[in-house]
């Protein structure tokens, strides 16, 4: 068959690990009572690529299994047995034997900040997997010794005090001691940041510094001198404003930085992301790097981006201006605008610093948000909005329901983000209005703080994903990386399966934990709804985009605590191999341009990016 000649690729699993394949129309052969499955359930099983060991006996015997997939161009052309798929091969077909390794659809992060992080990745020292504060401080000291004048050391999110053996945060004196001369910025979640003496000097911050912050403050000593500790109370704006004052990479360095970040994500099996922009990422000014990579055909993660209002009280002006520049769904399969959010107006944002009391949305919220919603719905812009608390959800959903009446809201695939404390009634409310819920593992990084403020019983009910699943709302997972959570999706999947925080503390009882199939489905097939690409990606199925990850260990059978260590040995995006190592290293694409020689990433590593230096303090 000609479609398999030339550039087509065939991947084979072998006979040990297999995934279920069900061609359209076959469901009718199997009765509902026999399998106790609806069509949706079967399709979900396809997306999760279950092995025999995870099937029910009736399911294993009733549905034919597949061990190979054929790829033609950027799509999956066929799925079946080795014999069937290999029989389709032409003389120019490349065959790759996967040796029985687990294969899954490429992961989709439904809530992250991939564009902003790409611009900064090369500059950051990652503490995502550092087991102790002592190790983190040693890394700071070692990086200080190799950082040239004019550059900073930045530890920006992805870690939690809970993961440290010492169970405490660093002090500013400790940071100053290991890096007295090089500017250092360290961010912990949404609650605080440390700037050492060298950073304060570089920014000209002294006792006369005027703090132009919406909320939060710089801690000062008895003489009015800033100590270097910045606190969010509860708005993280001062933390981000201070970080934004630090030096930035030039355009070509940001290009290289972003390519390395995408490679790290590919190294974890991630192939798509929904970008929520975040503070200090202005459209279109700060989108030049990703636009250039897209233009060059060098983008290895598909991105759907939302536009995030940056100017409090002028949000409507921003959206009107953007509506003249870009429209929802404009772009291509690698980069397209998918809507507005997650900040629609600043007054509708309830910050989730769980070490601080729940913020009350200001009384003017509704009057700020109403005209923005009216404009967006009239112009058919899908929205997503940040909402942590049940109290905020009632006010936000009431207004959205009122403004969205008779405006086709249910057709917009709009997104409710987060929802750590929302009730079952609120989840069902979202579902009735046609919305979906994107949840993340932020609570895994704030377990101790949440327990201290709200108690053990409240901790057992926080981020109620099982109840979200029962609500009927479309549901997908994400990281909210990188300024709080790590960008490593396997940390999020481990939390969903184990119910544990980053320090090993139990968050959920067994009844609230997800099975491995459901947790993976929220990272694959379920994620496609949130960019309005249902049926186009997220499953290993003929006709879908060939976004596939070959894992270095079997997700369905490894010990629970090993889930955090999973990486990809090979990743394909659109049928093109974008990442390969270990037994597939011969298939790896050409090496990327090198990062700056002072970059922490090659020396210390990062999730999905192994260290290449002689240092024994790498992040992984």
Mapped to the 3 state alphabet, what secondary structure does 125-163 carry?
CCCCCCCCHHHHHHHHHHHHCCCCCCCCEEEECCCCHHH
Token pair listed for 136: 């983190």
Identify the CA nearest to 121 among candidates 617, 589, 618, 609.
609
- Tens of pLDDT, residues 287-305: 999 999 999 999 999 999 9
Tell me the β-bridge partners of 579: 571
Distances in Å between the alpha carbon of 596 and those of 166, 179, 531, 600?
33, 20, 35, 9
Q: Which of 18-32, 92-106, 253-267 has the highest mean pLDDT?
A: 253-267
| DSSP β-bridge partners for residue 331 | 336
Residue 123, both tokens: 């500059």
Structure tokens at 98: 């996967």
The pLDDT value given to residue 59? 25
pLDDT in tens, 462-480: 999 999 999 999 999 999 9
Q: What does the DSSP assignment read for 532-580?
A: T-TTTSSS--TTSB--EEEESS-TTTS-GGGGGG--EEEEEETTEEEEE
Strand order in the sheet with 475-478: 384-387, 415-418, 436-440, 475-478
Q: Is the pLDDT of residue 34 over 60?
A: no
| β-pairing verdict for 415-418 and 384-387 | parallel
What is the CATH code of the structural domain delimited by 2-105+576-587? 2.30.40.10
SS3 label, residue 531: helix
Which CATH architecture best describes the domain 112-248?
Roll (3.10)
Measure the CA–CA gap between 541 and 70, rounded to whole angstroms: 10
pTM, full prediction: 0.91
Confidence of residue 486 (pLDDT cuts 50, 70, 90): very high
Of 403, 286, 380, residue with least CA distance to 327: 380
pLDDT for 148 equals 97
Q: Is 507 helix (H, G, I), strand (E, B) or coil?
A: coil
Is the Cα torsion angle 327, 481, 107, 569 positive or negative in sign? positive
pLDDT at 8: 61
For the chain, domain boundaries = 2-105+576-587, 112-248, 254-538
- Average pLDDT estimate for 389-408: 97
The set of residues, in sequence order, having a beta carbon less than 8 Å from that of 375 and lying 6+ positions away, is 316, 319, 320, 323
Q: Which fold has domain 254-538?
A: TIM Barrel (3.20.20)
């Amino acid at each position: 068959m000609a479609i398999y000649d030339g550039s087509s690729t065939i991947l084979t699993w072998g006979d040990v690990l297999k995934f279920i394949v069900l061609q359209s129309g076959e469901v009718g052969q199997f009765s509902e009572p026999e399998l106790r499955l609806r069509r949706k359930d079967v399709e979900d099983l396809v997306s999760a690529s279950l092995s025999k060991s995870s099937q029910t006996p009736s399911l294993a015997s009733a549905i034919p299994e597949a061990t190979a997939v054929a790829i033609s161009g950027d799509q999956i052309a066929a799925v079946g047995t080795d014999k069937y798929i290999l029989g389709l091969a032409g003389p120019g077909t490349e065959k790759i034997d996967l040796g029985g390794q687990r294969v899954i659809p490429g992961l989709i992060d439904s809530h992250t900040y991939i564009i902003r992080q790409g611009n900064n990745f090369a500059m950051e020292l990652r503490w995502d997997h550092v087991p102790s504060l002592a190790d983190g401080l040693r890394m700071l000291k070692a990086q200080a010794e190799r950082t040239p004048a004019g550059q900073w050391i930045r530890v920006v999110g992805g870690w939690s005090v809970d993961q440290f053996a010492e169970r405490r945060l660093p002090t500013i004196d400790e940071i100053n001691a290991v890096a007295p001369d090089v500017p250092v910025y360290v961010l912990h979640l949404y609650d605080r940041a440390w700037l050492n003496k060298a950073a304060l000097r570089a920014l000209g911050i002294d006792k006369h510094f005027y703090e132009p912050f919406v909320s939060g403050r710089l801690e000062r000593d008895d003489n009015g001198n800033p100590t270097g500790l910045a606190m969010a109370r509860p708005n993280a704006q001062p933390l981000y404003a201070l970080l934004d004052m630090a030096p930035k990479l030039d355009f070509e360095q940001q290009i290289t930085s972003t390519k390395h970040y995408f490679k790290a994500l590919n190294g974890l099996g991630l192939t798509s992301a929904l970008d929520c922009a975040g503070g200090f990422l202005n459209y279109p000014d700060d989108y030049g790097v990703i636009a250039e990579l897209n233009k060059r055909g060098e983008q290895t993660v598909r991105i759907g981006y939302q536009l995030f209002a940056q100017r409090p009280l002028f949000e409507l002006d921003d959206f009107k201006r953007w509506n003249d520049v870009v429209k929802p769904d404009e772009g291509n399969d690698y980069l397209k605008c998918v809507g507005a959010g997650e900040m629609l107006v600043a007054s509708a944002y309830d910050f989730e610093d769980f070490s601080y009391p729940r913020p009350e949305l200001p009384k003017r919220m509704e009057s700020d948000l109403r005209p923005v919603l009216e404009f967006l719905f009239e112009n058919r812009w899908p929205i997503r909005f940040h909402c942590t608390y049940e109290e905020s959800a009632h006010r936000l959903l009431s207004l959205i329901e009122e403004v969205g009446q008779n405006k086709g809201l249910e057709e917009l695939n709009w997104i409710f983000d987060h929802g750590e404390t929302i009730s079952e009634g609120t989840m069902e409310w979202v579902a009735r209005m046609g919305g979906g819920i994107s949840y993340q593992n932020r609570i895994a990084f704030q377990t101790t703080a949440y327990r201290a403020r709200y108690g053990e019983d409240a901790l057992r009910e926080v981020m109620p994903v099982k109840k979200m699943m029962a609500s009927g709302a479309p549901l997908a997972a994400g990281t909210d990386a990188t300024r709080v959570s790590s960008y490593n999706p396997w940390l999020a999947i481990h939390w969903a399966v184990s119910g544990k925080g980053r320090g090993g503390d139990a968050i959920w009882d067994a009844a609230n934990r997800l099975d491995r199939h459901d947790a993976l489905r929220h990272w694959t097939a379920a994620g496609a709804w949130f960019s309005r690409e249902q049926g186009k990606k997220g499953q290993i199925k003929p006709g879908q985009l060939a976004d596939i990850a070959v894992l270095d260990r079997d997700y369905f059978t490894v010990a629970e605590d090993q889930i955090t260590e999973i990486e990809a040995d090979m990743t394909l995006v659109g049928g093109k191999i974008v990442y390969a190592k270990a037994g597939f290293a011969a298939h790896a694409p050409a090496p990327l341009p090198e990062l700056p020689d002072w970059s922490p990433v090659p020396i210390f590593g990062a999730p999905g990016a192994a260290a290449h230096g002689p240092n024994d303090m790498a992040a992984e």
